Amino acid sequence: MANAIDWTVDKLLSGVQTMNARIESQQNTIRANRATYMATLRSLPSIADVKVREALRSRLGTWIRAQVGIENRLGDLLRNFTTAKARAKQFLTSVGITPPGYLGAIQVAAVPAAVWGALAIGLAAIATIAALNSNQTTAINGLSNLVRRAERETWTAAETAEVLRAYEAATKAAPGADPFGIANTLKAALPVILIGGLIFFLGPALQRKAARA
């Protein structure tokens, strides 16, 4: 049992630390993308041609709608992860281990069999958010460059429409998609969490059995 607890604690803390770092990284990306968007939006009035300006504003509107969807997704993940950390903290306390500070202060009822499975699903979800954020970074940097060029080169409405068509073709990966199907995974999360938890707790015993075979 001691070996199982040691294995559990090691994997648990490693998973929590990884999730903390990855969530913080994606929050930083979101803040940077938002800043680029706001700076680009504020620069639009410098474009004299109203049709050019509004065409670019409309495309920025498409970008920000996708951005809000990603931000909401990360917010949901963060709330679920906070609950998972609270469960982890309670579990560690229940086996006589003082939890590290980065687990937070919330206390809820323990669900030990679900802890590692929840973290595994969280890691998959943050990977999806990272992919979406990468698309968004490429898209907003491209749009920012287009706005600067439209002003500098005094594009016509026809030129702007042609450039935006080329831009759309180059950014087909559509921010807001769900490339890894995580939305469906999360809808069916409970069985996955329970299975993950069983593997987590039975893992050391299975390893010892394999070693004896």
Q: Is residue 6 part of a domain?
A: yes
Cα–Cα distance, 175 to 37 (Å, whole number): 14
DSSP code, position 44: G
Q: Is residue 99 part of a domain?
A: yes
What is the C-alpha R_g of the chain?
Answer: 23
Cα–Cα distance, 129 to 175 (Å, whole number): 10
Q: How many domains does the chain have?
A: 1
Q: Is residue 212 part of a domain?
A: no
Q: Is residue 213 part of a domain?
A: no
Side chain identity at 102, as an amino acid letter? Y
Give the CA-trace dihedral at 134, 137, 141, 144, to 10 degrees: 150
Q: Is residue 172 part of a domain?
A: yes
pLDDT at 122: 77
Domain that holds residue 82: 2-205
**pLDDT tens-place string over residues 9-43:** 666 677 778 888 999 999 999 999 999 999 999 99
**pLDDT tens-place string over residues 66-117:** 999 999 999 988 887 887 777 767 766 765 666 556 555 434 334 344 556 6
Q: Is residue 210 part of a domain?
A: no
Cα–Cα distance, 127 to 150 (Å, whole number): 35
Strands (DSSP E) found in the chain? none
Q: Is residue 211 part of a domain?
A: no
Q: Region 143-160: what's the mean pLDDT?
A: 94
What size, in residues, is the chain?
A: 213
